[in-house]
Chains A and B, each alone.
Chain A
Amino acid sequence: MLEAYRVLDLSDRTGWLAGRLLADLGADVIKVEGPGADIDGPDWQAYNVNKRLLRLDLAAPGGHADFERLVAGVDFLVESASPEERARIFDPARLRELNPGLIHVSVTPFGTSGPRADWLASDLEMMAAGGAMSLAGEPDDVPKRVTVPQSHCWAGAQAAVGALTALLYRTATGEGQHVDVSGQAAVILALSHAPAFWDLEGIVPTRAGAFVTGRSIKGARYRAFWPCADGYLNFVLYGGPAGRRTNAQLVAWMRERGAELGALADIDWKRFDPRLATQQDVDALEGPIAQFFLGLKKSEFLEQASRREMLGYPVSTMRDIAEDPQLEAREFWHDLTTPGGEPQRHCGSFAIIDGNRQPLAHPPGTAVDVRTLLAEFGADRIRSAPETAHERQTV
Chain B
Amino acid sequence: MSAISQALAGVKVVEFGAYAAGPHIGKMLATFGATVVHIESHQRPDGFRTEYPPYKDGRPGKDRSGCFAIFNDSKYDVTLDLKTPAGIEVARRLTAWADIVIENMRPDVMSRLGLGYEAAKELNAGVVMISSCNMGQTGPRAQTPGFGSQLSALAGFCGLTGDPDGPPMLLYGPYIDFIASTLGATAVLAALDRQRRTGNGAWIDLAQYESGLLFVAGALLDYHTSGRIAERANNADPGAAPHDAYQCGGGTWLALSCWSDDEFARLAQTLRRPELADDPRFSTIAARKANGVELDAIIASCLVTQDAGDVAARLQAARVHAYPVNTIADLFRDPQLAYRRIWRRRLHGEIGDVACYFSAFDLSATPGDVTGAAPRLGEDNALVSRDFLGISEQEYAALEEQGAFA
Question: Hey, which bits of chain A sit against chain B, CB under 8 A?
Answer: 1-2, 4, 17, 20-22, 25-26, 41-43, 45-47, 92, 110-111, 113-117, 119-138, 142-150, 153-155, 157-162, 164-169, 171-172, 175-182, 184-186, 188-201, 203-205, 207-210, 212, 224-225, 227, 231-232, 234-236, 240, 242, 302, 305-306, 309, 311-319, 321-322, 325-327, 329-330, 332-333, 342, 344-347, 350-355
B392 at the A interface (CB under 8 A): no
Using a Cβ–Cβ cut-off of 8 Å, how many residues does chain B contribute to the interface with A? 149
Q: Which partner residue on chain A sits nearest B6 by CB separation?
A: A169
Q: Is the CB of B167 within 8 A of A329?
A: no
- Chain A residues whose C-beta falls within 8 Å of the C-beta of B368 in the assembled complex: 165
11 cross-chain CB contacts under 8 A:
A122-B240, A125-B323, A136-B172, A142-B234, A164-B189, A169-B365, A193-B52, A196-B67, A205-B172, A345-B225, A351-B205
Cα–Cα distance between A232 and B240 once the two chains are bound (Å)? 29
Known: A1-B193, A160-B186, A317-B156. A119 touches B217 (CB 8 A): no
Most buried by B among A212, A234, A314: A234
- Out of A92, A143, A157, name the residue touching B179 (CB < 8 Å): A157
- Chain A residues whose C-beta falls within 8 Å of the C-beta of B275 in the assembled complex: none
What's the minimum C-beta distance from A38 to chain B, rounded to whole angstroms? 12
- Chain A residues whose C-beta falls within 8 Å of the C-beta of B259 in the assembled complex: 122
Q: Is the CB of A197 within 8 A of B328?
A: yes
Known: A313-B150, A332-B210. A200 touches B336 (CB 8 A): no
Q: Which partner residue on chain B sits nearest A305 by CB separation?
A: B144
Question: Hey, which bits of chain B sit against chain A, CB under 8 A?
Answer: 7-8, 11, 20, 24, 28, 32, 48, 51-58, 66-67, 69-71, 135-141, 143-147, 150-151, 153-162, 166-175, 177-179, 182-187, 189-194, 196-197, 202-207, 209-211, 213-225, 229-237, 240, 243-245, 247, 253, 255-257, 259, 316, 319-332, 334-337, 339-340, 342-343, 351, 354-355, 357, 359-366, 368
Most buried by A among B20, B136, B218, B219: B218
Most buried by A among B52, B54, B186, B330: B186
- Out of B170, B190, B328, name the residue touching A208 (CB < 8 Å): B170
Q: Is the CB of B337 within 8 A of A26?
A: no
- Chain A residues whose C-beta falls within 8 Å of the C-beta of B69 in the assembled complex: 196
Q: Interface SS of chain A: helix, strand, loop or mixed?
A: mixed
Cα–Cα distance between A53 and B184 once the two chains are bound (Å)? 27
- Chain B residues whose C-beta falls within 8 Å of the C-beta of A47 in the assembled complex: 217-218
- Chain B residues whose C-beta falls within 8 Å of the C-beta of A318 in the assembled complex: 156, 216, 219-220, 222-223, 229-230
What's the minimum C-beta distance from B339 to chain A, rounded to whole angstroms? 4
Q: Is the CB of A350 within 8 A of B366?
A: no
Cα–Cα distance between A392 and B223 once the two chains are bound (Å)? 45
Known: A1-B190, A137-B169, A155-B360. A329 touches B323 (CB 8 A): no
Q: Is the CB of A129 within 8 A of B334?
A: yes
- Chain A residues whose C-beta falls within 8 Å of the C-beta of B243 in the assembled complex: 124
